[in-house]
Structure 1
Amino acid sequence: MNKTGRVSVLNGDATLADRVTTGSPALGPDVIYQRLVERSSDIPYVTDINGTVTFIGHQVEVYGYIAEKLVGRNLVELVYPEDLGKVMNDFQQAVECGVESVTTFRVNTPTMGVRYFEDNGSILRDQDGRVLGTSGFLRDITQRRQTEEALKQARDGLEKRVKERTAKLAAANEQLKQEIAQRHRVEQALRESEERFRSIFAESPIGIILYRPDGTFLSMNKACMAIFGIADVARARAINLFNGPLVPENAREMLQQGKTLRWDGLFDFDLVKQSGLYQPAKAGPLYIEVSITPLGLEGKGSLTGYLVQVQDITERKQAEEALRQSEQLYRLLAENITDVIYCTDMNGRPTYMSPSVTRLLGYSVEEAMSRTMEEGLTPASRDTAMKDLATEMALDYKEGQSGARVRRRELEFYRKDGSTVWAEVTVSFQRDAEGRPIAILGVMRDITERKRDEEELREAMLKLSRSNAELERFTYIASHHLQEPLRQVTSYVQLLAQRLEGKIDSDASDFMAYAVEGAHRMHRLINDFLAYSRLGLHSKAFKPVDCEAVLYEVLGILRGAIEETSAAITHGALPTIMADGEQLTQLFMQLLSNAIKFRGDEPPEVHIWAEESESECVFSVRDNGIGIAPEFFDKIFLVFHRLHSPTKYSGTGIGLAICKKVIDYHGGRIWVESEPGKGSTFHFAIPKRGEVQS
């Protein structure tokens, strides 16, 4: 646009004035171009890069606009909203491809109503190719669009009009060619539409039948033939719509009035055979859904036929029946089960309560439905339930819907007679389509007897624990007090043997030696028994224990026995665990001393290793000793149980019992794998987070 406000750049890089040649020196290119623009019936316009109008021709005033008031407005404001997407898409393609843009759209004009315009526009660019805006002409093609629409409706009379107006159309030959081309396009579109209809008709999974206005058969697709068991469509031609099995009695008048009929029901092939309509390839009943629609009556037209749509809904009906029976069964179960099934809103107000509530709480269903769940709880259980609900709601809000997560709580309820009953309550949220909790579903089970049994068991276990503790203390004290008399017996027998040396015969000397040896064995037995009893007296908090350090300590204590027997002791890496260090020392001491003691002809070979899992550490002690028969695997861990005589292998029979008690104290397990003559492997497992076992 030049300084005078006139368009100076239009349709690309060259102006229309550049293409105008004139012999009059009085009229410049701008004047010539301006006169051409003013006399054109099309509306010239120029916009900036944002679509804001910077110039528009006075021709726009024909449609009730004021040209000066349109300047400064965005051109797209005039475009019909439904056409805006197409216009913007065409403009984008013109910018990207660098070509002229031709698009059509509607404008709701102030004085002439809705008009169709064709926009022949170009992109305005500077010398560097940057987009400055657009320019073009808006051509009113409303008449042409109306003509095109009229052509569609007047296809059958087109040939007659061509003959009548041959002379008149001689001058408009070019326009006639365009109309003929448009007609061919319309016919092609119609053929394609008909082809699509035939394809849809033939391949539709829904059964379709077409009837003429008088009800005579016209056509049927494959799906319909399959539904009704018709092998040859010719057999269906004799069936009239109004006399056939698809139309209920007295329905003809409703159809002829243009009303659509819909119904579903049972179609019995046996009755069809008996009536002689046709011989179906199927037998028995079939559930179908039928829709019959009169055609051609829209806009008060004449009836052109009937469209019948048929669907086999047998599976759906069977599923509905199965669902009905299932719901009936579940309701029967809910009404007869001993557990109470209930549903409440999010405020705890019941919306359903099974009849078993009377058995549990003594209330009728109506009485229970009138009370909130909160009102029926004892104060302690009410606080627990409310806190749990608040916690679950907060967690649900924080983490989003948690699916079918089930919560279980043991709550105490008031019965109608004032007594209380304990129930295990299982609850879950019912959710809406967005996953938000909208109700609480629950089951209450009477656990009063179980709670009573648990309380009795707890009291019995407490009494047993006290009794065991007292028994252990008594055993420890009794064993401790036996030490002094036993030492006196040993000392006096030895003193007597010294004073009578040479004065008694050899048998008497042997008897005294036997007495001293027996006293020594009794002393060792009492010491082992004291060690066994002491394990349960003083509970200690578990601490980290380096098992390799414990092993080295035990090897130092057993150094004499190791050197004496030429034993070879090896080990793998041993972990640090939470345990009682003193008891682990006793455990390794007993197992290693047994491995050295119960050796065969070869020097002892002992290997210790450990394996870890997520929950426990399993230690193993393997030797090459005399082995153990399988029938003794359990007995060897009992107190005072020996497999060999004291004269062959020394000991008291308490060592492995001590091992078993240490492992029990740590909440673990101990077992042996062995075979006579092939050595033994003792395994013991200790939990990684063990607690003192009472």
Structure 2
Amino acid sequence: MENTTDLSKLDLTGEQRAVETLRLSDARYRRLFETAQDGILILHADTGQVVDANPFLKELLGYSQEEFLGRKLWEIGPFKGEDASKSAFAELQVNDRLHYEGLPLETKDGRRVEVEFISNAYAADGTRFIQCNIRDITERKHAESQISLLNAELAQQVALRTAQLEEKSKRADELAVIVEERLAANKELAFQVEEKGKRADELAQINVEREGVNQALKMAIKELAFECAEKGKRADELIPINAELARSNAELEQFAYVATHDLQEPLRAVASCVQLLQKRYEGRLDARAVEFITHAVDGTMRMQTLINDLLAYSRISTHAQAFASTECTKVLAAALANLSIATAESGAVITSDGLPMVMGDATQLTQLFQNLIGNAIKFRAERPALIHIGAVLKEDEWWFTVADNGIGMEPQYFERVFQVFQRLHTRRAYQGTGIGLAICKKVVERHGGRIWVESQPGQGSTFCFTIPAKK
């Protein structure tokens, strides 16, 4: 009896630790929610009512907590216009994720702001919610607009100056012909003076005219130098603007990395607690409760996969290694070793040609091959999967190909598949987050190449990418 009491106390302590872990996890999430520098709006997925809104969103749009909570999306000032907002909400209910760039909103005081709008659906305690992340990109859009205007103005000025330079060049050629003619005339006159000694006055006049021509040439040269200096000045004005854009993009990538990294700890705590519940109460709950716990476990696992993929995507820029001489045959072998279980289970047959040495990041190139071959295995047809990797040198770059005999795709999806979170199939049909090919594109572009796909439905796909040849 004494031993039974002690075990019960130990179980109770474990549950308290789990509850405390959940409380701390919720506190961390709430701190992130309250201090986020993006607006966050939580909607009930069935009714469209606002469940919560963080301080940044309220400050951005000028509405109070009372003006948000309990109201439906289309009843709030920035989203008014019932038909359009209801239609947008219906789309949010169908799609797990939506992304709008440059969505116009109007604040309570009448200001117009442009935002980046990203929505993600999730379930909590059996209820489905939609989280809307709203980032103010008004200044960025304004900067992009200013750059476009400056580029257009610069292009117009360059075209104008080019036409003027061509005209001046034509005049310079004409002047050069005149100079040559004058020089020939001088020679002829000198010969006549030497021979006859009669035309000294005429020769002096010709020399005066030649001096005038020289002065005209000097003026033309000064004008050309001034115009070149003006063009250089305009180019210098664009340098700080481009630098500011590069800094802004780098900050966005760093924010994505930090945010996804910090989310892992509370997510692990939630996953551990849910799995503990699943294990401890196995066989003691009704079917509905088991289903809820199973959904919670699956949701945390999908969220962990998504966070890991986002970290991998951000690390391409934030944790990149310096380029070194890399043997692609070894890179391919490492990728195939990572895919050995999937290859064996699918029965895929993978072949390759001899692959070259390139200058690159071996870790990122391994990920590139692993993602492309992994996709070929995942999207295989009913027939045995055949995958071939090749490389051909064309001028000053290597053309790599990863060809398969899988399900293929329609031409209208050739560019969409390389965008982040873009999926052509449901999660039930094929697992994944839709980030793999976006990672491939970012790796190839970092190596100074380009990537594209050639495919026909039912006939397989060939993913092609280039890497500059090693010098």
TM-score (norm 2): 0.54
Of 381, 393, 411, 1:630 maps to 411
- The answer for unaligned runs of 5 or more in structure 2 is 1-162, 182-209
CA RMSD in angstroms comes to 3.3
**Residues of 2 paired with 1:619 and 1:335: CA distance?**
45
Report the equivalent of 1:297.
none
Q: CA deviation at 1:345?
A: 12
Cα deviation code 1:73-107 (max 9, x no counterpart): xxxxxxxxxxxxxxxxxxxxxxxxxxxxxxxxxxx
**Residues of 2 paired with 1:531 and 1:463: CA distance?**
25
Q: CA deviation at 1:621?
A: 0.8
Q: How does 1:504-653 map to 2 (within 5 A)?
A: 504-653=285-434
Q: How does 1:240-251 map to 2 (within 5 A)?
A: none
**Residues of 1 paired with 2:400 and 2:211: CA distance?**
63
Q: Does 1:337 align with 2:118?
A: no
Q: Does 1:451 align with 2:232?
A: yes
Q: CA deviation at 1:335?
A: 12
Q: How does 1:130-149 map to 2 (within 5 A)?
A: none
Check 1:541–1:369 CA distance in 2 against 1; reply closer, same or farther (3 A cut).
Answer: farther
Q: Does 1:422 align with 2:203?
A: no
Secondary structure at the aligned position of 2:452 is classed as strand
Task: Give the number of the structure with larger relative contact order, counting CA–CA contacts within 8 Å between residues 6 or more apart.
Answer: 2
Instruction: Give, as a single letter, the amino acid of the residue that structure 2 aligns with 1:551.
Output: L
Q: CA deviation at 1:486?
A: 0.7
Q: How does 1:176-215 map to 2 (within 5 A)?
A: none
Instruction: Give, as a single letter, the amino acid of the residue that structure 1 aligns with 2:467.
Output: I
Check 1:462–1:344 CA distance in 2 against 1; reply closer, same or farther (3 A cut).
Answer: farther
Q: CA deviation at 1:594?
A: 0.6
Check 1:374–1:344 CA distance in 2 against 1; reply closer, same or farther (3 A cut).
Answer: farther
Large movers: runs of 4+ above 4 Å: 333-336, 338-341, 343-346, 365-377
TM-score (norm 1): 0.37
Q: CA deviation at 1:422?
A: 3.4
Q: CA deviation at 1:635?
A: 0.4
Report the equivalent of 2:260.
479
**Residues of 2 paired with 1:586 and 1:374: CA distance?**
61
Tell me if the contact between 2:355 and 2:391 (Cα under 8 Å) persists in the aligned partners.
yes
Identity of aligned residues (%): 46
Q: Does 1:687 align with 2:468?
A: yes
**Residues of 2 paired with 1:498 and 1:515: CA distance?**
13
Check 1:375–1:422 CA distance in 2 against 1; reply closer, same or farther (3 A cut).
Answer: closer
**Residues of 1 paired with 2:166 and 2:347: CA distance?**
77
Q: CA deviation at 1:670?
A: 0.9
Secondary structure at the aligned position of 1:536 is classed as helix
**Residues of 2 paired with 1:336 and 1:593: CA distance?**
56
Q: CA deviation at 1:463?
A: 1.1
Report the equivalent of 1:416.
none
Tell me if the contact between 2:444 and 2:467 (Cα under 8 Å) persists in the aligned partners.
yes
**Residues of 2 paired with 1:484 and 1:606: CA distance?**
38
**Residues of 1 paired with 2:211 and 2:166: CA distance?**
17
Instruction: Give, as a single letter, the amino acid of the residue that structure 1 aligns with 2:335.
Output: V
Report the equivalent of 2:452.
671
Secondary structure at the aligned position of 1:422 is classed as helix
Report the equivalent of 2:274.
493
Report the equivalent of 1:263.
none
**Residues of 1 paired with 2:164 and 2:357: CA distance?**
55
Tell me if the contact between 1:343 and 1:351 (Cα under 8 Å) persists in the aligned partners.
no
Secondary structure at the aligned position of 1:594 is classed as helix
Higher-Rg member (1/2): 1
Tell me if the contact between 1:334 and 1:341 (Cα under 8 Å) persists in the aligned partners.
no
**Residues of 2 paired with 1:598 and 1:663: CA distance?**
22
* Structure with greater proportional strand content: 1
Q: How does 1:147-166 map to 2 (within 5 A)?
A: none
Cα deviation code 1:625-663 (max 9, x no counterpart): 111111111100000000111111111100000111111
Check 1:371–1:508 CA distance in 2 against 1; reply closer, same or farther (3 A cut).
Answer: same
**Residues of 2 paired with 1:661 and 1:613: CA distance?**
22
Q: Does 1:660 align with 2:465?
A: no
Check 1:335–1:688 CA distance in 2 against 1; reply closer, same or farther (3 A cut).
Answer: closer
**Residues of 2 paired with 1:412 and 1:536: CA distance?**
43
Check 1:640–1:634 CA distance in 2 against 1; reply closer, same or farther (3 A cut).
Answer: same
Secondary structure at the aligned position of 1:569 is classed as strand
Q: Does 1:462 align with 2:462?
A: no
Check 1:662–1:554 CA distance in 2 against 1; reply closer, same or farther (3 A cut).
Answer: same
**Residues of 2 paired with 1:471 and 1:500: CA distance?**
43
Check 1:624–1:366 CA distance in 2 against 1; reply closer, same or farther (3 A cut).
Answer: same
**Residues of 2 paired with 1:493 and 1:579: CA distance?**
43
Instruction: Give, as a single letter, the amino acid of the residue that structure 2 aligns with 1:478.
Output: A
Tell me if the contact between 2:454 and 2:461 (Cα under 8 Å) persists in the aligned partners.
yes
**Residues of 1 paired with 2:380 and 2:165: CA distance?**
71
Check 1:335–1:524 CA distance in 2 against 1; reply closer, same or farther (3 A cut).
Answer: closer
Q: How does 1:319-330 map to 2 (within 5 A)?
A: none
Report the equivalent of 1:136.
none
Q: How does 1:166-177 map to 2 (within 5 A)?
A: none
Tell me if the contact between 1:610 and 1:618 (Cα under 8 Å) persists in the aligned partners.
yes
Check 1:483–1:369 CA distance in 2 against 1; reply closer, same or farther (3 A cut).
Answer: same
Secondary structure at the aligned position of 1:602 is classed as coil
**Residues of 2 paired with 1:335 and 1:561: CA distance?**
64
**Residues of 2 paired with 1:636 and 1:455: CA distance?**
37
- The answer for unaligned runs of 5 or more in structure 1 is 1-332, 353-364, 378-410, 414-420, 424-446
* Structure with greater proportional helix content: 2
Q: CA deviation at 1:573?
A: 1.2
Report the equivalent of 1:325.
none
Q: CA deviation at 1:451?
A: 3.1
Check 1:595–1:375 CA distance in 2 against 1; reply closer, same or farther (3 A cut).
Answer: closer
Check 1:337–1:577 CA distance in 2 against 1; reply closer, same or farther (3 A cut).
Answer: same
Cα deviation code 1:415-444 (max 9, x no counterpart): xxxxxx332xxxxxxxxxxxxxxxxxxxxx
Q: CA deviation at 1:503?
A: 4.0
Secondary structure at the aligned position of 2:448 is classed as coil
Cα deviation code 1:638-694 (max 9, x no counterpart): 00000111111111100000111111111211111111111111111112159xxxx
**Residues of 2 paired with 1:534 and 1:373: CA distance?**
57
Secondary structure at the aligned position of 1:504 is classed as coil
**Residues of 2 paired with 1:454 and 1:541: CA distance?**
30
Tell me if the contact between 2:406 and 2:459 (Cα under 8 Å) persists in the aligned partners.
yes
Check 1:471–1:605 CA distance in 2 against 1; reply closer, same or farther (3 A cut).
Answer: same
Tell me if the contact between 1:567 and 1:605 (Cα under 8 Å) persists in the aligned partners.
yes
**Residues of 1 paired with 2:445 and 2:466: CA distance?**
10
**Residues of 2 paired with 1:602 and 1:495: CA distance?**
41
